[in-house]
Structure 1
């Protein structure tokens, strides 16, 4: 048996344990944890809305959806982020209507 033969065969290479049920960090990316959700809600409660968010909510109340989408896209950079922000602000407007 030569020196290179130990690398071949069934048990070749560095011994590792298979990762089957544990999600890798790359697969968890973007999932909101409970701690992050709590921190963001407290920051929103303390700091309130930014100026452009208040403006967008006013545009949504006046049914100027296209203008609101354009404004958020300009501020946030991509259409997907814009859609998410509009959905978030829309739900906030609905909750405030239910509360009053």
Structure 2
């Protein structure tokens, strides 16, 4: 019926420590516990469902007014001005660069 999935294990997990009174592995005989992966390691990754929802909302709602202005600036080959405008509206250098790249991809898709 239900087959067990093999879980990738850390090679250091499950090592037996021996009952030796000295040395690096001194102490009681026991098995090491594997720490679970933290949820914070997934932060920033886009899941398939989130990607689908965002594309659906974009399709229905369209672009925000500032995004339409960025598109107009990019169509007239004013990339630097579009970046400055995005930076003023969004508030960050990296975010503005990402938004500009995103809008450039939209223009490329529109031309196809």
Aligned residues: 85
Residue 17 of structure 1: aligned partner: 33
Q: How much has 1:26 moved relative to structure 2?
A: 1.5
Provide Cα deviations, 1:21-56, integer angstroms capped at 9, x if missing partner: x64211111000011001100100110001110110
Structure 1: segments with no counterpart, 5+ residues = 1-8
Which protein, 1 or 2, shows the higher relative CO under an 8 Å CA cutoff with sep ≥ 6? 1
Q: Normalising by the residue count of structure 1, what TM-score does the alignment of the two structures yield?
A: 0.77
Q: CA deviation at 1:16?
A: 7.6
Give 1 or 2: higher helix fraction.
1
Structure-2 residue corresponding to 1:89:
103
Q: Distance in 1 between matches of 2:106 and 2:37?
A: 32
Distance across 2 between alignment mates of 1:62 and 1:88 = 16
> What's the counterpart of residue 58 of structure 2?
44
Query: 2-side partners of 1:39 and 1:77: how far apart?
Result: 25
Write the distance in 2 (CA, Å) between the matches of 1:17 and 1:73: 47
TM-score, normalised by the number of residues in structure 2: 0.69
Moved over 6 A (4+): none
